[in-house]
Amino acid sequence: MFIHNSTSKLDPYSVKKKRMSEKVRKMFYHAYNNYMMHAFPHDELKPLTKTFTDSLSELGNLKLEHLPQEYNGSSLSLIESLSSLLILGNHTEFERAVLWLSENLTFDVDARINLFECNIRVLGGLVSAHILATDSTNRLNKGTYENQLLVLAEDLGQRFLPAFDTPTGLPYAWINLKYGVIKNEITETSTSGCGSLILEMGALSRLTGDPRFENVALHALRKLWSMRSSLNLLGTTLDVETGEWIEHSSGIGAGVDSFYEYLIKGHILFGREEFWRMFQSAYLAVQKYFRYGPWYHEADMRTGKATFWQLTSLQAFWPGLQVLIGDIAAANSSHREFFHVWNKFGVLPERYLLDHQMLHPTEKYYPLRPELAESTFYLYQATKDPWYLEVGESIVDSLNFYTRVEGGYASIRDVTTMELEDHQHSFFLSETCKYLYLLFDDSFLANQNYIFTTEGHPLPVLSSWHEKLPEAYILSNFTSIKSEEQPKRSSAMSLRICPAAMLNNGHNNEPVESACHIPDTHADHRCVTDEDCGVDSTSCRRRSCSMAGYCGLWLLI
């Protein structure tokens, strides 16, 4: 969530920001123009061969020349680019794209699609672009936009609904856009797949007045949360018909990541206290059972025991999420480790084994993922520390040096050899370029308040969408809170303020160190009972009083 702080006219980094924003602008258009020239209206560009792939749908084992005649792809990369075009100020191209989509795009096709991916990429792209198109500040030509994107979004949302017709209310992972759930459809899905739908479908309900979309997404989220363990942890995969977990090990990466993201962003967007309570419990559990210093390993949801000690590139979104709750110290700590790995290889590998300090033997690729750029953007917004501009410049230089080709930007198959792979994912247009551009030019955010979906599509935070506007989001509460109003023995997360604004009970004006941190009662850490001890800032575990009368994590020794 962003309450934009305008930068000073005397910003000493303004020249650098201008130069870098133009560099990123050129990156976007090199990728976008090549897609439009060689792959449109299909889904994604193959930049090495200058051909296309229809990645969103699964049409059996049909080869490209045998595709149904009515199917020309979903124009995925164009849809993903809509909000980026407006952020870059290209209203003319945006209007051309909207006109083409309204006249040519149809979802009435015999195509089996992944519900989660179609939701975050296509539905999210359409809903976000519709909202931006109807925003008077974007100055679109009068009469050129008549809610065409919303009409398409509503049609797509209605085609999603049969996926939720299960005994549990948890949706199938796959659905046919024309025929619904096919016979003998697989029943396995991921935590992200059924717990990361509320932003797009909730927004669709608010825009159309049809509550069905938000209701089914909300029911699925509540059901998923009810399946958590006694430790407030969830697994990675489950069966939507039986409601039983299939994979009990999980972390903050693939299969689970956006579940945590949508709890806090759902709370910000819709004002539901229920989402906040879920997130608070889940976040503390993650810090307690997954965190090891600046790293996050995976653990068994039933026991909390570590299972896999590995870094995955998708985990790099986590520092950005921590910024949203003001846990800046923890966010910065993890971000620096991710950037260290980026520098080590030139890009961020898909999987890195922490216990062996080596690459995963098979997952050595880098598909142009945006997560590190995303967290860099969030941290710069929160701190204005110019070091994050240096990080962004390094990311831009690496992308141009290693992945730019004549036909666009190619993924990297092996980070040890920098061998390229013939694929330019749509999220390079919707997220990677967008976050890098906003890092250097945040004028789009001026006087605006947005959250970004997991696919980088901006949604405005509107009081009219809130059940009630939480007191925690009154502007003054972001920067200060009167000490006499603080409930004693409360963490910054409980108070919903930035940890840096909460002082350590008046002792030397020392700020608390993380969102879960509760300082010991006495500055010298002396104690008589456990009640005198707080919560550790790193592990989020309760400290206890030793026989010698000092607070510490004695129960872990």
Binding-site members for Ca(2+) are 454
- Residue 154 is a catalytic residue: no
Say whether the peptide bond before residue 460 is cis (omega within 30 degrees of 0): no
Beta carbons of 224 and 194 less than 8 angstroms apart: yes
Distance CA 221, CA 59 (A): 29
Give the three-state DSSP class for 398: helix
Q: Is 421 a catalytic residue?
A: no
* Cα Rg, the chain, nearest whole Å: 24
Annotated active-site residue in 43, 54, 350, 421: 350
Residue 48 DSSP SS3: coil
Q: Find the Cα–Cα–Cα–Cα dihedral 188, 194, 200, 206, rounded to 10°.
A: 130
What are residue 414's phi and psi, to 5 degrees?
A: -145, 115
Question: Is residue 371 annotated as part of the catalytic site, yes or no?
Answer: yes
Tell me the pairing of strands 458-460 and 450-452. antiparallel
Q: Which residues are CB-neighbours of 493 under 8 A, at least 6 positions away?
A: 280, 283, 284, 325, 327, 515, 516
Residue of 43, 44, 54, 257 with catalytic role: 257
Write out the two tokens for 440. 């250097």
Tokens of 478: 């972001």
Query: Tokens 């701190």 appear where?
Result: 383
- Chain position carrying tokens 């039933």: 302
Residue 239: strand pairing partners: 188
Pairwise CA distance, residues 531 & 529, whole Å: 5
At a CB cut-off of 8 Å and minimum separation 6, what does 486 contact?
495, 502
Determine which one of 43, 80, 261, 371 is catalytic.
Answer: 371
Active-site residue (options: 117, 239, 241, 274): 117
CB 163 within 8 A of CB 212: no
Annotated binding site: 454
- Give the residue among 235, 226, 240, 225 at the shortest CA–CA distance from 186: 240
Triad 126, 129, 130: Cα angle to 5°? 80
At 160 the three-state DSSP class reads helix
Per the listing, tokens 């669709």 go with: 204
**Distance from the Cα of residue 547 to its chain's centroid:** 45
**Residues in contact with 480: Cβ distance below 8 Å, sequence separation at least 6, in sequence order:** 501
350 is catalytic: yes
Cα separation of 443 and 424, whole Å?
Answer: 27
Q: Give the Cα separation of 330 and 288 in Å (integer).
A: 13
Q: Which residues are designated catalytic?
A: 117, 257, 350, 371
